[in-house]
Structures are given as C-alpha cells and as structure tokens.
Amino acid sequence: MAQVPVSNQVKRILPIILATAIFMLMLDSTILNTSLPAIANDLNESPLNMQNAIISYVLTVALLMPISGFMADRFGTKRVFIGALMVFALGSLFCSLSQNLNQLVLSRVIQGVGGSMMTPVGRLTLIKSFPRNEVVQAMNFAIVPALIGPILGPLVGGYMVDYLSWHWIFMINLPIAILGILLSLKFLPDFYSPASAFDLRGFLIFGAATFILSISLELLGESVQLTPLLIGVFLGFLLLYFYYRHAKREDNPLFPLDLFQVRTFRVGILGNLATRLGISSVPLLLPLMIQIAYGKSAVVSGWIVAPMALTAMLGKSVVIQILDRIGYRKTLMINTFLIGCLICSFAIPSLEASIFWHLPIIAVLGFFNSIQFTSMNSIAIADLRPYHTSSGNSLLSVNQQLSIGFGVALGLLILKLFEGDEKLIPKEVHQAFRYTFLIIGSLTIISGLVFRRLHFRDGENLKS
C-alpha cells in the first residue's frame, strides 16, 4: 500500500497518541513495585512470590518486541498499534479482576503482548510521518511521559494502595488506553512495507537470547547469587553470537547486520546501552536509600524524586536549541559527563544531613536526563534508510528494554556487594548507597567516550 499523506493536523496529534502508550508503559512498569506487598496480602501469597507478576510481563515484552517491525510492515501500523492498545487495556482489566496469583500472572502476560508492540510501532509511525528535520521535535514531545512515568509510578501507587485499593493501579490504564484508541482511529496513519518472508529461525534465536538475558536480570532482584546471573548472561550473549552467524547467511534476517554499518545507528545503540547502565539505576536506588537509610516512607521518597519530572519537561523545551547550536557529538559527550557527576553527587550528603539536600541534585539530573534521551534516540535513527527504519526501530526498542534491565541489575548488584562487606562498611547501610552512587556515576562518565565516535556534523539532517 502506498504511503498515505500526513496532514498538519495529524502531525499535531501523533505525538499525543504515542505519548499515551509510553505513559501507560512507564507508569505500569513502576507503579506495581510499591503495591506488591498489598497485592500479596490480598491474594494470600508471600510477597516473595509476587516477583512472578513482574517477571512474566518483562519476559513477554522481551520475547515479542523483536517482531514489532515485521508486524507493522505486514499488517499496517494503524491496525497493529490499535490492537496493541486494546490488548494492553484488556490485560489491565484482567489484572484488576484477578483473584489469585496465577490469574494475575496470566493477565500480566496479556499486558506484555500489547506492551511489546505499542511503543515500537507508535514510534515507527511517527518516524515515517515526519520529515527528518521535524522528527526530533515530534519525538521530544512524545518521550516526556517516559521521564514522568517512573517518577509518578511509586507516588501514585503508594497513594492508591493507602487510600483506595491495589486494583486501581491497573484500572488507571483504561481511560488512557481508550483515549489512545479513539485518537488512533481518527488520526493515526497506516503505513505498510513490501511483504518479506518472516525470519522464524532468527526470531527464535534472538527471542531466546533476550528472554534469557531478561530473566537473569530480573531474578537478580531476588538473590545476590552471582552464579545463576553469570550463566544466564553468558547463555544470552552466546545466543546473540549464534544470531550474528545466522544473520550473515540469511537473505532477509530479522535484524539485518548492515544496520551496524550506519555509524550513527551503531553509536546510538551502544550509547543507549552504556549510559543507561547508570541512569536507569537511579530511579530504583534513590527511593531505596531514602526509605532504608533515612527511614522515610514510600510516599515521602516518591515526593522527593518528583521534581525530576518537572525539570525533565524543562529540558525538553531547550534540547532542540542546544542540538542546533553545538551538535550531537558535543552535546552527548558533555551531557553524559554532567549526568555522571550528578549521580556521584548523591554520595555527598551524610546520613545526618536533611534528605532535602538531595533535591537540587535530583532536579538538575532530571533536566540533563531529558536532553540525553532525546539526543540518543534521535541520533540512532538519523541516517537509517527507509527500508531499514522498521527493523532499526525495533532493535532500538529491544536495546533500550535490555539496557534498562542491565542498569537496574548492576545498581542492585553493586549495592548488595557493599552491603555484604562488613569490613568495608560495618553496619552502615547508607555507606553502601554512597559507594554505589560513586561507582555508577563514574561508569556513566566513562560511557560518554562512546559518543566520541560521532562526527561533529552527524545529525545535521535532523536539525530544524
């Protein structure tokens, strides 16, 4: 089918449609964490068993996200995106009606089926609808919920559990999904690409790799044992190597290897993975430190990190001007260095100091995080050819999913290693957090070297 013309009215609505999907995903991925004890109590389960409700969703998303590009090309972006919204909403409804853990896990799998398609297909539609020099501005608006969701999640979840019931944390998705569906029916363009044979073998190999890597990283939250984690990571990367060998022989692989011949895509993928190792651990480590080390409530920790969402929106308002002025290479190198320094700064306030000393650090970090995500995501797709857009966008989504998991796992691993070292930090859990932030921040600073591979003129075709 020929590409449909996109009117200015549709261009104004498209970022809102994508924003509804991103907001639900990011809110849902964090809101559940503060509610697990209440859900476990209501379902007569041990809180430790409730980890299955999180893992089932993460694994479903990791397994199915690689085929999002093929599905959009074959069945059309409009049909797949609306179907994903409907499936996610249905899974949310089933979650709220669950009477036992097995029903909740099954409902989370249904949610994961929808969640695996929503963001990649929505972003693909946006990329195909806008000229290259307008993509950054459109994506800039749509990504704001990705910064707000992890901040609002614990806060909203805490209030809902305390004053309503845990069922409402899933019901909140329904009106947002309905809004997204109604807007999509009227405004979402429908893009197809020439049908090609589905690389089933490549999907099974790559899907198994992401599946094993995801479950290894999620299970780290339950145990400090390194052996299962290392075995899982080794098997995951071994399967990625097998996929590489398969893709070299396959005529139409799931993810063509010549994607990595595009320098900006290669740097964008590697930069996302490297810098998110530190950035992704902060939304988990910071509330934990406030609750465990400072002894504050979940609601208080939620309010402490809330300014990050406000300053993130401020960052969105200036990122395009910054990129136009100094370029992607310099922006990403300087910005990554500043983010790393800010993460290290969380180690400065002592346990005797007020927790409000963390507020300015949190606020400034939100601003620079916003610039980082917009810059990394847009440079990755800057030079992709039209026939690579679907597969490149899907691979970028999978990479982001895994990099967030790696970041959270790395943060927890470092924290647990310091907590268990009585010689280094005898009976002082706050010191464990301080050392963890120093290491995570230092790794983030080093990760900025990835962006040295960019040319100073890279991304000029994205400038407004």
Predicted pLDDT of residue 2: 41
pLDDT of residue 464 exceeding 60: no
Q: What tens digit of pLDDT does each residue of 367-417 get?
A: 898 889 888 888 888 888 877 787 888 888 888 878 877 887 788 778 877
| Number of H-type helices and E-type strands within the chain | 19, 0
Q: Pick from 59, 54, 458, 451: which is nearest to 273 by CA?
A: 451
Please check whether residues 77 and 104 belong to one and the same domain.
yes
More confident residue, 250 or 304: 250
Of 189-198, 388-397, 413-422, the range with the highest mean pLDDT is: 388-397
Predicted pLDDT of residue 105: 87
- Residue in the block written with tokens 């007020």: 354
Give the CA distances from residue 287 to residues 201, 290, 292, in Å, rounded to whole numbers and listed in that order: 42, 5, 8
Helices (H), 188-225: 200-219
10-19, 104-113, 335-344: range with lowest mean pLDDT: 10-19
Predicted pLDDT of residue 75: 86
pLDDT of residue 346 exceeding 80: yes
pLDDT of residue 154 exceeding 70: no
Predicted pLDDT of residue 423: 56
Q: What tens digit of pLDDT does each residue of 166-175 get?
A: 788 888 889 9
pLDDT of residue 222 exceeding 70: no
Q: What angle do CA 250, 395, 185 make, to 5 degrees?
A: 110
Region 99-108: mean pLDDT is 88
Region 106-116: mean pLDDT is 91
- What is the spatial distance between Cα 165 and Cα 201, in angstroms, rounded to a whole number? 44
Q: Locate the DSSP E strands across 366-409.
A: none
pLDDT of residue 158 exceeding 70: no
pLDDT of residue 225 exceeding 70: no
Predicted pLDDT of residue 323: 86
Please check whether residues 296 and 394 belong to one and the same domain.
yes
Q: Pick from 92, 87, 103: which is nearest to 42 by CA?
A: 103
Please check whether residues 118 and 240 belong to one and the same domain.
no
pLDDT of residue 282 exceeding 50: yes
Please check whether residues 108 and 12 belong to one and the same domain.
yes
- List, as one string, the DSSP characters of 247-260: HHH-SS-SS-GGGG
- What is the spatial distance between Cα 56 and Cα 88, in angstroms, rounded to a whole number? 14
- Residue in the block written with tokens 């409009």: 78
Give the CA distances from residue 450 to residues 25, 274, 445, 453, in Å, rounded to whole numbers and listed in that order: 28, 8, 10, 6
Task: Give me the domain span that covers residue 210.
Answer: 201-251
Region 333-341: mean pLDDT is 94
pLDDT of residue 3 exceeding 50: no
Say which CATH number the domain at 295 has: 1.20.1250.20
Region 2-12: mean pLDDT is 67
Please check whether residues 93 and 166 belong to one and the same domain.
yes
Region 79-103: mean pLDDT is 91
More confident residue, 312 or 441: 441
Q: Pick from 206, 278, 190, 288: which is nearest to 246 by CA?
A: 206
Please check whether residues 225 and 264 belong to one and the same domain.
no
Q: What angle do CA 365, 404, 244 make, to 5 degrees?
A: 135
- What is the spatial distance between Cα 71 and Cα 463, in angstroms, rounded to a whole number? 30
108-112, 234-238, 414-418: range with lowest mean pLDDT: 414-418
87-91, 92-96, 182-186, 352-356: range with lowest mean pLDDT: 352-356
Final residue before a domain boundary, out of 184, 199, 214: 199
**pLDDT confidence band for 432 (50 / 70 / 90):** confident
H helix or E strand, kind and range, residue 461? none
**Token duo for residue 205:** 């190999």
Please check whether residues 339 and 457 belong to one and the same domain.
yes
Over the chain, what is the mean pLDDT? 81
Final residue before a domain boundary, out of 251, 276, 293: 251
Please check whether residues 175 and 289 belong to one and the same domain.
no
- What is the spatial distance between Cα 238 and Cα 308, in angstroms, rounded to a whole number? 38
Q: Is 153 exposed, middle or buried (0-12, 13-18, 19+ CB in 10 A)?
A: buried
CB 108 within 8 A of CB 99: no
- List, as one string, the DSSP characters of 263-322: HHHHHHHHHHHHHHHHHTTHHHHHHHIIIIIS---HHHHHHHHTHHHHHHHHHHHHHHHH
H helix or E strand, kind and range, residue 233? helix 226-249
Residue type, 182: L
Region 77-93: mean pLDDT is 93
Predicted pLDDT of residue 195: 63
Please check whether residues 44 and 74 belong to one and the same domain.
yes
Q: pLDDT exceeding 70 applies to what percent of the chain?
A: 85
Domain count, the chain: 3
pLDDT of residue 34 exceeding 70: no
- List, as one string, the DSSP characters of 347-362: TSS-TTS-GGGHHHHH
Please check whether residues 192 and 208 belong to one and the same domain.
no
CB 322 within 8 A of CB 371: yes
- Residue in the block written with tokens 């972003």: 123
**Token duo for residue 141:** 């608006």
pLDDT of residue 283 exceeding 60: yes
**pLDDT confidence band for 20 (50 / 70 / 90):** confident
Region 73-100: mean pLDDT is 91
What torsion, rounded to 10 degrees, do the Cα atoms 374, 379, 381, 382 define?
Answer: 120
**pLDDT confidence band for 88 (50 / 70 / 90):** very high
Please check whether residues 105 and 25 belong to one and the same domain.
yes
pLDDT of residue 1 exceeding 50: no
Helices (H), 43-172: 51-64, 68-75, 77-97, 101-129, 132-142, 144-163, 168-171
- What is the spatial distance between Cα 255 and Cα 253, in angstroms, rounded to a whole number? 5
50-59, 201-210, 221-230: range with lowest mean pLDDT: 221-230
Predicted pLDDT of residue 229: 73
Please check whether residues 220 and 279 belong to one and the same domain.
no
